[in-house]
Structure 1
Amino acid sequence: MSEQKKHGWIIPVVILALIVAGFVAGWFVLRAWPLRFHRELDQFFGAGNWESVSEETKRSMMFDEYLAVRGTGYSDSVDGRFHEWNIAFTNREGETELWTISDHTMKINNHDHWFPLDPERYTARQALGQELMELAFDMAGEQAQEDILGDILTDGERACLDVEISFRGGWPNGDLYTELLNEPWFNIQELDAEKFLQSNLYDFYVDVFAYDYRVDDLGEMEQEHLYRSLGDIEQALRAAFGDYVDYDIYLGEGYSAEYTGSKG
């Protein structure tokens, strides 16, 4: 038997091994969002400004409860696991922050909308956009609280508030997240409350909400000052955002306000 025949099997085996390795590598990359969506994360956090420092696999209690509601009970045949990635980055002030992104929402959405052509089914990229949007809401809200409310309320009063961007009209479909990822301002250096309010992608507004249990821990004078500040907060928001202003404020029972400007 010639040497060529004796070793002719090696090439097909090597090719098969390369194919298998390619499939394994592709499967890993598709599941690892920091690798799969490196370009999107570069755009949002800034190239070289972020790092995936850890990953964790968890089992979704929400997912299990959802299965129980459907009357199926828990089954190992349904994968209720999801992944979280901790992303360290440097913010505008030069400080290191740690944010978490997760495929949890996508897992639940894809189970609910199982048909691949369902228009309400999220792609992985859209689910990433939804995760980054939620983080951006908090970031823009914190900045608005500091810049706009900082001169009106004491630190203790501000600690009672949760200020963030929200939206009306129910949860949007995945197209919003695709469009948001394509917006040039959708990054940690440029995004703020004004960008959301001026956007025509969805009905965004500033939500200012005081938790009653936190307000109850304030002294009587601080409580009264917080309640009396409702008008000042409204004026400050209108001055900051002009015709694009859109807000919903709750400081306590009997101390709430809503307003939408002409372009809001």
Structure 2
Amino acid sequence: MSTPWKRTAVIGLVGGTALVAFAGNAAAVAPSEQSLHDTPDSVEKGTEVALSGTLTGLRDRPVSDQRVALERRAGDGGWQTVDTATTGDDGTVTFRRTPQRTAEWRVTYDGSTFLDPSASPPQRVDVRLPPPPPPPPKPARPEQSAKPSGKQIVDVAASHAGKPYAYGATGPQRFDCSGFAQFVHRQVGIQLPRTSSAQHRAVRPVANHAKVAGDLVFFHQGGSVYHVGIYAGGNHVWAAPESGDVVRKQRIWTDTYYTGRAW
């Protein structure tokens, strides 16, 4: 009586990992080998992966047209069959899955009259959560216009030279002194009150000796402001002086004045 084949299942890992042998019975006459290869170590949750296995028999020949099963084991639980498929002519089979949690996977073969059953070594696939979405972009801040300079104020004032004085006029064709100062500052984005006395109270005081072009010069008598001009440098101001006159550069004729800066 001849000695029957010992049933074994050789389990091979990718990259040369050692094979595992399984005990069998005397019904089959040849071992089989079931492998699971090209399995990723880690995937992002919701990503489809391909789990491919190859069934071989004697002399590593592929075994076709055999039913194999894909099994999964999560945590401390047992193995569960999640899918089955038939090997192709080259002995391979591919399962496409979308893992939702970390688990071990293997491909098993139940054997046949001539082949022992076998199972591939378990392959662990870690499932990681996708990275959080980037925060929404911050709304663009409105561009802030550059702070006006004294030179800009003087340039606007000079551009209106020759326009006639008119009491109570605020431009753009006629001006009185405070209407002129208010209009010029508005052109560079600065809001001033209407009257010269209110303008004096609204601006930042500057020492007379520290005044620069673009500052406001407030002429007063007994502390009461009666006229305003825009300092042009060289002891001159741009102003709308009085009835019958026009916007022009005039010399500062007195030391009785205050200086203020609105820019």
State the TM-score, normalized to the length of structure 2: 0.19
Identify the structure with the greater helix proportion. Answer: 1
Identify the structure with the greater strand proportion. Answer: 2
Highest CA radius of gyration, 1 or 2? 2
